[in-house]
Amino acid sequence: MPLGQWSGMAARKIGGGFATRLLQERSRWPLWLPVGMACGIGLYFSLNDEPSLWTGITVLATALAALYLSRRQRWLPVAMGMIVAMCLGFVAIQVRTATVGTEMMTRRVGPVTVTGTVIDITRREGRYRLVIDQPNLSGRRDTGVRPRRIRLSIRGDARPAEIGSVIRVRAVLLPVPPPVAPGAYDFQRRSFFRGVGATGFAIGPVHRVRAPPSRSPAWIEMERIRSAATRSIISALPGDTGAVAAALLTGKRDRISPKALAAIRDSGLAHLLAISGLHVGLVVGAVFFMLRLLLALWRPVAARYPVKKWAAMGALLAGLLYVLLAGAPIPTQRAFLMVAVVMVAVMIDRIGISMRLVAAAATVLLLVSPEVLVEPGFQMSFAAVIALIAVYERFRRRGRTGPRRTWQRYALLWVGGIMLTSLVANAATAPFALFHFNRLAVYGLAANLVAVPVTAFWVMPLGLIALVLMPFGLEMWPLAAMGWGIDVILAVAAEVTSWPGAVSHLPPPTIVGMLFLAAGGLWLTLWQGRWRIAGVPVMLLGFLSPQLVTRPDILIAPDGRLMAVRLSDQRLLISSVRRKSFVASVWTRREGAVAPGRWPRRGVRDRLRCDREGCIYRQGAYVVALSKTRMAVAEDCPAVTLLISRLPVGDRCPAPLRIIDLYDMRDFGAHAIWLGGGITIATDRAIRGNRPWVALPPVRSRRVNLAFQKQRATRALWQRGW
């Protein structure tokens, strides 16, 4: 048989088998709706310029029309349905960006007098952070920028204001920090969608202009209740015990000491502090069974009315109050949506726990707040839930038949269930934890085996009782008993982190690797047939992606005050470990290292030679000058391949010389440079483009073609895998 004929027969056979399996899994097709929406949202974030809203709406209308016209075809509606889902996600994030409309400050301003309403207060290591809504700025030259909200840092141990009060303070305003490296986490994008257009610090005392009004908006009243409940908990349980209790009940984690927070995180118990499915499910479940029991004991009501449905309605309202009290973060919203569907299913006599429940919750979140797709909380929360439900579906089909269960068997199943749940959840969230935080808790299974039952059967029930009794001033006893369980959790966290190798710092998967991991994981969990196993090799490609990365040889911070070079043993050498410690910590975490090295002020270390005027970095045939003074710039120009300086170099050097100076750092932010096969440069501005959340000044560099820079930087990141 000719090769062409054989290949054609093989393609038809494979295509026919794929179509048959796809048809067999028709009931699972709706599960891919949020996946298509996520693809559209991801496409939007990858663009260089902000697209027109009418463009997205037109494409969506065209896709809907094509879907309607192809409704009688066999397979075309499936493909058109995914295209419609992508267009829907694209339009949703466009509408969200247009409605948020946060103005981002692009340069330092101040000192100025800031007057506005305090809408949030958090405490961090001897200072308070205040979010001020609709600030009025006076005593400055008008820049035309009016941030909707600003976040100010105020030193001191005394609480500077109350939620809802109007304050006046002298402060210096700064742009929201940009990513510390090209492709790193984008704080400006997160602040944009939260309405925060500037940060800053106070340089004087806080003056209260007006006390909180007696009738405030509902969300301000809820913030007051949160703050009052947090203070009651802290006063009843001092130290880290009370701080953890406040985190579990009101979502306020700012009072947990850095040592305790590190122990909880490194032991794999950080998910207990994120109010999600465990907490919301326990609250709703406890209220449901308590109300049902009380109503069942009331014979006239139990005999005439559906008390089970009444209990479901009461539990749903209690869950909503708990979500509002916790501040409604993304994991809590996802958990409440899922629990709400379960309670509604109880009220209409249906079964609610299924993968469709997860898809419905994801669809609602991506429609209302599509920007959450790129947040760690959304990714890790849904990864854990999807994996757990997929495993649950498999065991539910197998567990319908079997031997009669005794109490010993129930105990064994309970312990095994906790171990399996922890193992599946940790495995599902591990890639995202590596990608965002570059750390992996090795003994998380052992810690969760003790901490999760204590939280589920002791800490949270007593915390719920304390919340119910708090309006009457009777919360002391349940909080004290709750503290005993929290002490056990903290002791477990401290013990587990003391074990050798408790935390592994590993290089993160690349963006392409994460796409492979997500695609393979979804294929493995959303389908039910044997062809789902095809997702495993796709996930393996994602796990191998860190091994295919070419790390940059030089890194430059957004303001140019911190630099790093790579030694011959592939370790980073950072110009200062004290200055810009956050930037240095992010760089080293992305490398998978723990402690960075510091380059010498004078002398030679490996490829680097420094003196008072600057440093010379050599790698093969490439010579890079890191010049500090104008004299060094003039001296280094004729002898180097690349010149890096925080000074404006201008035209002092010959044209063929590659230069990165003050103008480039101001216009393009962080730089990553590879030496080998030519000089490859990727910048933060070129990667992010001209988007509404990019808080950088207008590009005025003399060497600017942003579209070309974007294309070149993106190609560099894909080729280098970084």
pLDDT digits (tens, 9 = 90+) for 314-323: 888 888 888 8
Check residue 11 and give its pLDDT: 47
Cα separation, 568 vs 189, whole angstroms: 36
Query: Alpha-carbon dihedral of residues 352, 353, 357, 358, nearest 10 degrees?
Result: 160
State mean pLDDT over 421-442. 83
Nearest residue to 321 (alpha-carbon basis) of 475, 468, 180: 468
Count Cα atoms within 13 angstroms, Cβ side, for 515: 9
Check residue 658 and give its pLDDT: 79
Cα separation, 319 vs 313, whole angstroms: 10
Cβ–Cβ < 8 Å for 689, 49: yes
Nearest residue to 193 (alpha-carbon basis) of 378, 429, 32: 378
Cα separation, 690 vs 669, whole angstroms: 13
Cβ–Cβ < 8 Å for 132, 149: yes
State mean pLDDT over 360-369. 88
Q: Is the pLDDT of residue 330 over 70?
A: no
| Neighbour count for residue 76 (Cβ, 10 Å) | 14
Q: Is the pLDDT of residue 412 over 50?
A: yes
Contacts of 336 (CB under 8 A, 6+ apart): 280, 319, 320, 323
Cα separation, 312 vs 288, whole angstroms: 6
State mean pLDDT over 135-139. 83
State mean pLDDT over 296-311. 82
Q: Quick one: tokens of 653?
A: 């050097």
Tell me which residue has tokens 């590879």.
Answer: 674
> Binning pLDDT at 50, 70 and 90, where does residue 607 land?
confident
State the helix-helix crossing angle for 444-454 and 476-497, rounded to 10 degrees: 170
Cβ–Cβ < 8 Å for 179, 187: yes
Nearest residue to 283 (alpha-carbon basis) of 344, 324, 223: 324
* Top-tier CATH class for 109-216: mainly beta
Cβ–Cβ < 8 Å for 164, 214: no
Check residue 8 and give its pLDDT: 47
pLDDT digits (tens, 9 = 90+) for 524-559: 998 888 888 988 999 998 888 887 778 888 899 888
> Binning pLDDT at 50, 70 and 90, where does residue 488 land?
very high
Q: Which range has the worst mean pLDDT, 131-145, 243-257, 515-529, 629-643?
A: 131-145
Q: Which residue has the higher pLDDT, 598 or 347?
A: 347
From residue 211, give the alpha-carbon distance in Å to each of 138, 222, 584.
21, 17, 42
DSSP string for 536-551: HHHHHHHHTGGGG---
Nearest residue to 645 (alpha-carbon basis) of 672, 674, 673, 613: 613
Q: Which residue has the higher pLDDT, 221 or 376?
A: 376
Region of 194 please: left (phi>0), alpha (psi -120 to 50) or beta: alpha
Cβ–Cβ < 8 Å for 104, 693: yes
Mean pLDDT of the chain: 81
* DSSP-derived 3-state class of residue 598: strand
Check residue 29 and give its pLDDT: 86
Tell me the domain boundaries of the chain.
21-100, 109-216, 223-504, 511-548, 554-720
Check residue 43 and give its pLDDT: 92
Q: Quick one: tokens of 89?
A: 């996600």
Cα separation, 137 vs 74, whole angstroms: 62
Q: Quick one: tokens of 556?
A: 């430059």
Peptide bond into 111 cis (omega under 30): yes
Q: Is the pLDDT of residue 88 over 90?
A: yes
Q: Is the pLDDT of residue 3 over 60?
A: no
**Amino acid residing at 162:** E
Tell me which residue has tokens 């890191």.
Answer: 626
> Binning pLDDT at 50, 70 and 90, where does residue 7 land?
very low
Q: Which residue has the higher pLDDT, 38 or 500?
A: 38
Give pTM, 2 decimals: 0.85
Q: Which residue has the higher pLDDT, 337 or 710?
A: 337
Check residue 656 and give its pLDDT: 60
State mean pLDDT over 132-148. 77
* DSSP-derived 3-state class of residue 322: helix
The DSSP call for residue 123 is: E
Cα separation, 159 vs 137, whole angstroms: 23
Check residue 599 and give its pLDDT: 76
* DSSP-derived 3-state class of residue 311: helix
What is the length of the chain? 722
Region of 437 please: left (phi>0), alpha (psi -120 to 50) or beta: alpha
